[in-house]
């Protein structure tokens, strides 16, 4: 199992650690040449989506990543990664990869003082300790292909659509590897 972790900015090292503890081989992706056919899956980590979206384009990774996801490469986006995958971002003209049939709201809960930790029921995983940092949530599922996996106070915070998995929270910040294991099962 060879998993690419997008390492342009953000908490990529945390994803790499959890995945390698689960037995995956990790490739940090910073430039086009590192994104090869040899990868079995891709992780889009938390961080700032504006920075990551910009660097994706500047490093020439945008087209190959979008194409690979479209062709069925399993992908797991957390927080900023979820925003990169979304087809629509509320109150913004910007779309990044736009491969997933979800609309999201950035900083949906507010600034850092509104960041929180909670226990969440995640379909296929069970009760899970979820960390939300200036988090987004999905405001809408844009097709029936996108299925909610977790809902917090009426807001959709985890979604599965075919080869794509997105979470508004950060499984890479907890010591519980079950959501990463769920992703590896998608391979």
Partner 1 sequence: MNERFELNKNLAQMLKGGVIMDVTTPEQAKIAEEAGACAVMALERIPADIRAAGGVSRMSDPKMIKGIQQAVSIPVMAKCRIGHIAEAQILQAIDIDYIDESEVLSPADDVYHIDKTKFAVPFVCGARDLGEALRRISEGASMIRTKGEPGTGDVVQAVRHMRRMMSEIAKVAAMREDELYEEAKALCVPYDLIRSVHDNGKLPVVNFAAGGIATPADAALMMQLGAEGVFVGSGIFKSGDPAKRARAIVQAVTNYDDPKLLAELSEGLGEAMVGINEQEIKLLMAERGK
What residues line the site for partner 1 (CB under 8 A)?
Answer: 7-14, 30-31, 46-48, 50-51, 54-55, 58-59, 79-80, 106-107, 110-113, 115-117, 131, 133-134, 170, 173
Residue 112 or 144: the one with the smaller Cβ distance to partner 1 is: 112
Strand (E) or helix (H) holding 55: helix 49-58
Which is closer to partner 1, CB of 74 or CB of 136?
136
172 carries an active-site annotation:
yes
Catalytic residue among 14, 79, 96, 180: 79
Point out the catalytic residue in the list 59, 152, 172, 180: 172
What are the backbone angles phi and psi of residue 172, rounded to the nearest 5°? Answer: -75, -10
Write the CA distances from 43 to 11, 18, 118, 169, integer angstroms.
11, 12, 23, 14
Give phi and psi for 36, each to the nearest 5.
-115, 175
* Pairing of β 126-132 and β 116-122: antiparallel
Minimum distance of partner 1 from residue 141's CB (angstroms): 23
CB closer to partner 1, 111 vs 153:
111
- Distance in Å, CB of 92 to partner 1, minimum: 8
Q: How many Å apart are CA 64 and CA 160, to the nearest integer?
A: 22
Task: Give the active site residues.
Answer: 79, 170, 172
């Amino acid at each position: 199992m060879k998993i690419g972790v997008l390492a342009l900015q953000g908490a990529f090292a945390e994803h790499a650690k959890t995945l390698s503890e689960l037995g995956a081989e990790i490739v940090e992706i910073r430039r086009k040449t590192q994104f090869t056919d040899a990868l079995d899956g891709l992780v889009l980590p938390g961080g700032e989506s504006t920075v990551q979206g910009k660097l994706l384009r500047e490093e020439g990774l945008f087209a190959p990543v979008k194409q690979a996801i479209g062709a069925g490469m399993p992908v797991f986006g957390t927080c900023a990664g979820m925003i990169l995958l979304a087809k629509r971002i509320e109150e913004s003209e910007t779309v990044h990869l736009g491969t997933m049939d979800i609309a999201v709201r950035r900083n949906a809960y507010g600034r850092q003082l509104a960041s929180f930790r909670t226990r969440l029921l995640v379909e296929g995983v069970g009760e899970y300790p979820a960390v939300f940092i200036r988090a987004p949530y999905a405001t809408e599922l844009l097709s029936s292909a996108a299925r909610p996996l977790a809902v917090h106070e009426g807001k959709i915070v985890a979604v599965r659509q075919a080869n794509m998995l997105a979470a508004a929270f950060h499984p890479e910040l907890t010591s519980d590897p079950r959501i990463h294991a769920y992703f590896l099962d998608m391979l």
